[in-house]
Amino acid sequence: QSVLTQPPSASGTPGHRVTISCSGSSSNIGINTVNWYQQLPGTAPKLLTHSNDQRPSGVPDRFSGSKSGTSASLAISGLQSEDEAEYYCAAWDDILSAFVFGTGTKVTVV
Amino acid sequence: QVQLVESGGGVVQPGTSLRLSCAASGFSFSSYGMHWVRQAPGKGLEWVALMSYDGGNKYYADSVEGRFTISRDTSKDTVYLQMNSLSAEDTAMYYCAKDLRGGRGRGVIPDYWGQGTLVIVSS
The answer to whether residue B82 scores a pLDDT higher than 70 is yes
Q: How far is B47 from chain A (nearest CA, A)?
A: 6
Is residue A103 classed as helix, strand or coil in its secondary structure? coil
pLDDT at B100 over 80: yes
- The mean per-residue pLDDT over the stretch A32-40 comes to 98
CA dihedral B116, B99, B108, B58 (to 10 degrees): 80
The answer to whether A32 contacts B59, with C-beta atoms less than 8 Å apart, is: no
The answer to whether residues B91 and B40 touch, using CB atoms and an 8 Å cutoff, is yes
- CA pair distance B47, A99, nearest whole angstrom: 6
Those residues whose C-beta lies under 8 Å from the C-beta of residue B86, and which sit 6 or more positions away, are B12, B14, B15, B16, B17, B18, B67, B119, B121
CB contact under 8 A, A50 and B111: yes
Mean pLDDT of B53-75: 97
- Nearest by CB to residue B116, choosing from A44, A88, A92, is A44
Give every CB contact of residue A41 below 8 A, 6+ residues apart in sequence.
Answer: A85
Q: How far is A82 from chain B (nearest CA, A)?
A: 20
Is the pLDDT assigned to residue A1 strictly greater than 80? no
Residue B105 has pLDDT above 90, yes or no: no
Whether chain A has a CB inside 8 Å of the CB on B118: the answer is no
So what's the pLDDT on residue B103?
86
Q: To the nearest whole percent, how much of chain A has pLDDT over 70?
A: 99
One-letter amino acid of B99: D
